[in-house]
Amino acid sequence: MDEIKKLRSKLHKIGVLFVIIGLAYLIFSISTKSWQPTEATLISSSNNTYVQSDGGPSFRSRIGSGGSFSWPSVKYEYHFQDHKFQSSIMCVCVPIGLEAPLQKTVTAYVSPYYPALAVLVQGPHFLFSLLSFFIGGVCFFFSSVLGRYGKA
C-alpha cells in the first residue's frame, strides 16, 4: 500500500511538471506576438528533409526529393537598438514542416527585453503544448486510478 502511495505521488508530480512546462511554453511562445518587427538579412538558409529509406533514416538536401518532414536551417543578421545581432532561431517551436525563407531580406521579431533573442515565425506551435498537456493528463489519470486501487 505504501508503494502505491509513493508511485501515485510521483505520477502526480510528473503530471504537474508537464502541465507547468506546457503552460510556460505556451505563454512564452504567445509573447512573441508582441515582439518588435525589424528587418533582417538572411545569411544562409536550407530546407533539409528527413527521408526514410531501406537503409534507415537519413537527412538530405531537399532538392527535388520527397520526404516525411522538412527541418529548416537559417542564419540571419539584424540591427536592433544600435546593436548588431545574429540568430539561427526560426521559431519558439520544433520547426518541422516550416519552410526556410529564400529571400535575402526577412522580418525578424525581436524580444524587447533581450534583443539577442529573435524569431522569424511568431506564435506558438500547439503540438508541443498538446503533447505536454497530454503527458500530464496521462500521469494524472494513472495517479487517480492508483488512488482508487489503493482504497479497494
Domain ranges of the chain: 2-151
Residue in the structure block whose three cell numbers are 511568431: 122
Q: Which three cell numbers stand for residue 77?
A: 543578421
Say whether pLDDT at 51 is over 70.
Answer: no
Say whether pLDDT at 148 is over 80.
Answer: no
Q: Is the pTM of this model over 0.75?
A: no
Q: How far is CA 151 from the centre of its chain?
A: 40
Say whether pLDDT at 75 is over 80.
Answer: yes
- Residue 91 is classified by DSSP as B
The CA-based dihedral angle spanning residues 118, 120, 123, 125, taken in that order and rounded to the nearest 10 degrees: -110
Say whether pLDDT at 78 is over 70.
Answer: yes
